[in-house]
């Protein structure tokens, strides 16, 4: 009966979210509580046990051997303050000087313009918000691309591909979701995925280079002889960067903010301190150093919306996972599915999931994928000796093609800004993202984080 209830819990959640009958937050809490109460009814367990399972999912559990497994509160705190921190760094203009410098150096060379575009998009997407990235980059570069005659489809790709990488950072959302499901520190997954992201970024810059070479030839640009854009137009682009939330900029504290950010990232990557503590303390320092008390409250209120939208779902996932695991539904499902997998294929579960899961990652909303699919697959992988970090890495391979999905609402803003239909966008995106998917796979296998 536990197996049946487990399947009902997961299928009901997926159906409600996919059909947009309820939000992910509501679905995670309500469906799991109903199924948890049903499990109590069928097995004669006191109903208040559901509250204990929720508590365990949120905070921690201790098994018979004394091992502590963390709940979802730790990644919740980490992503809450990571989003706040990088939003504040965007507000103070930490990345403005570099973006302005590169825009001025690009001048009228299509190759340089495309290289600057991908670099600027890579910087702006650090705050993990795709909508903000699209608004800023298209505002700065669409007039230039039109003036020079550069393909707007290239602009779309050089925005969305770096955003795919930015989405895999600890504050992007999926990493925290996976960490919550797998009972891991976000730092553990981040350190494992860094080489994959680095190689993928190199691939994106190489793409930008060859796009630039192609546009030079198509437009007949000759270095030193083609004046395609004036100094006034360059300054207009610079103004877009400088005037975005101008009253919030703090250029006189640039060095302090840079040192603070680098120091925090070093601590995060080295795993010396929990990411939750790093960004909690870092956010407080950034607010104190850049704004007065009223401005601090305003910044928390203004930037808190995106943070709450993500963290509320991760908290709700604690309820979902606590009931799924505490009631025994997760173990029952894993045992049933593992019995269906031939022993010869068991050791390849992570690699198989990397491929099959990428389709689910594309087709499903992100919460449905990480809270509906990963909790089912992970226990099966464990039975075949695959570690939580390894199955976590497998779940991330699909992020390379995630942004072809119509379930990502802000993609339509990008298509509108770059004057593309959804069909044109998908055709162009898959041309570059499918090779990136295989780069993800190969790099993960070569670095040993994805067992084959």
The predicted-structure confidence for 240-298, as pLDDT tens digits, reads as follows 778 878 899 999 999 999 999 889 888 877 777 888 898 899 999 999 999 999 999 99
pLDDT band at residue 66 using 50, 70 and 90 as cut-offs = low
Q: Cα dihedral sign for 287, 289, 293, 294?
A: negative
What is the pLDDT at residue 437? 95
Return the pLDDT at 341.
67
Q: Is the pLDDT of residue 227 over 60?
A: no
**Higher-confidence residue: 370 or 127?**
370
Assess whether pLDDT exceeds 90 at residue 237.
Answer: no
DSSP secondary structure, 50-80, as one string: HHHHHHHHHSEEE-TT--EEE-SHHHHHHHH
Q: Is the pLDDT of residue 191 over 60?
A: yes
pLDDT of 337 above 70: no
- In DSSP terms, which residues pair with 70 in a beta bridge? 60
Are 406 and 426 in contact, with CB atoms under 8 Å apart? no
Going by C-alpha positions, the residue among 116, 177, 187 that lies closest to residue 402 is 177
Share of residues in the chain with pLDDT > 90 (%): 30
Classify burial at 63, counting beta carbons within 10 Å of its beta carbon; exposed 0-12, middle 13-18, buried 19 or more: exposed
19 pLDDT higher than 70 = yes
Q: How far apart are CA 364 and CA 342, in angstroms?
A: 27
pLDDT at site 224: 60
Asked if the model's pLDDT at residue 332 lies above 60, the reply is yes
Kindly report, residue by residue over 371-430, the tens digit of the pLDDT.
Answer: 888 888 888 888 888 999 999 999 999 999 989 886 676 787 788 888 888 788 889 999
Predicted local distance difference test score (pLDDT) of residue 181: 86
Q: Any idea which of 4-8, 166-170, 341-345 has the lowest mean pLDDT?
A: 341-345
* Angle at which helices 2-18 and 329-340 cross, to 10°: 90
3-state secondary structure of 220: coil
Domain ranges of the chain: 74-306
Rg (CA), the chain: 23
- The pLDDT of residue 426: 87
Asked if 353 and 402 count as a contact pair (C-beta separation under 8 A), the reply is no
Residues 319 and 360: their CA atoms lie apart, in Å, by 23
Least confident of 61-65, 130-134, 222-226, 370-374: 222-226
Query: What percent of the chain clears pLDDT 70, i.e. is strictly above it?
Result: 92
Inter-helix orientation angle 374-383/388-396, to 10°: 140
pLDDT at 169 over 90: no
Residue-level pLDDT at 129: 63
pLDDT over 60 (residue 142): yes
20: left (phi over 0), alpha (psi -120 to 50) or beta: left
Ramachandran angles phi, psi of 228, nearest 5°? -95, -25
The interaxial angle of helices 254-270 and 186-219, nearest 10 deg, is: 120
pLDDT in tens, 195-218: 999 999 999 999 999 999 999 888
Helices (H), 327-450: 329-340, 343-346, 349-363, 366-368, 374-383, 388-396, 411-417, 422-446
Q: Determine the angle formed by the axes of helices 2-18 and 24-43, rounding to 10 degrees.
A: 160
Highest mean pLDDT among 31-40, 115-124, 142-151: 31-40
Bridge partners of 68, per DSSP, are 62
Give 300's pLDDT tier (boundaries 50, 70, 90): very high
């Amino acid at each position: 009966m536990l197996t049946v209830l487990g399947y009902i819990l997961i299928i009901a959640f997926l159906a409600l979210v996919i059909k947009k009958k309820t939000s992910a937050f509501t679905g995670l809490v309500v469906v799991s509580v109903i199924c948890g109460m049903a499990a109590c009814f069928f097995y004669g367990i006191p109903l208040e046990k559901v509250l204990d399972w929720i508590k365990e999912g949120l905070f921690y559990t201790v098994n018979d051997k004394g091992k502590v497994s963390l709940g979802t509160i730790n990644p919740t705190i980490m992503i809450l303050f990571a989003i706040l921190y990088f939003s504040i760094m965007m507000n103070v203009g930490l990345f403005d000087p570099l973006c302005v410098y590169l825009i001025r150096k690009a001048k009228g060379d299509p190759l340089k313009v495309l290289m600057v575009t991908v670099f600027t998009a890579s910087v702006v997407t650090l705050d993990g918000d795709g909508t903000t990235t699209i608004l800023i980059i298209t505002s700065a570069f669409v007039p230039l691309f039109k003036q020079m005659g550069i393909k707007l489809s290239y602009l779309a790709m050089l925005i969305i591909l770096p955003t795919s990488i930015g989405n895999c950072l600890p504050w992007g959302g999926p990493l925290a979701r996976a960490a919550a499901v797998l009972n891991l520190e976000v730092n553990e997954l981040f350190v494992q995925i860094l080489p994959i992201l680095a190689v993928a970024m190199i691939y994106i810059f190489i793409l930008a280079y060859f796009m630039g070479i192609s546009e030079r030839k198509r437009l007949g640009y000759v270095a030193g002889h083609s004046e395609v854009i004036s100094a006034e137009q360059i300054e207009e682009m610079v103004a877009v960067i400088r005037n975005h939330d101008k009253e919030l900029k703090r250029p006189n504290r640039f060095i302090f903010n840079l040192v603070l950010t680098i120091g925090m990232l070093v601590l995060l990557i080295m795993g010396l301190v929990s990411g939750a503590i790093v960004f909690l303390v870092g956010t407080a320092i950034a607010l104190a150093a850049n704004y007065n008390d009223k401005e601090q409250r305003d910044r928390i209120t203004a930037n808190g919306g995106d943070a709450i939208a993500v963290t509320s779902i991760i908290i709700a996932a604690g309820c979902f996972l606590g009931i799924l695991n505490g009631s025994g539904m997760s173990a029952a499902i894993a045992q049933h599915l593992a019995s269906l997998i031939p022993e010869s294929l068991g050791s390849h579960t992570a690699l198989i999931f990397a491929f099959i899961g990428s389709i689910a990652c594309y087709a499903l909303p992100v919460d449905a994928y990480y809270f509906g699919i990963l909790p089912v697959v992970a226990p099966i992988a464990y039975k075949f000796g695959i570690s939580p970090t390894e199955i976590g890495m497998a779940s991330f391979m699909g992020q390379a093609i995630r942004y072809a999905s119509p379930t990502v609402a802000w993609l339509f803003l990008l298509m509108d800004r770059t004057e593309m239909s959804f069909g044109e966008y998908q055709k162009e995106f898959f041309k570059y993202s499918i090779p990136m998917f295989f780069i993800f796979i190969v790099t993960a296998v070569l670095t040993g984080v994805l067992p084959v």
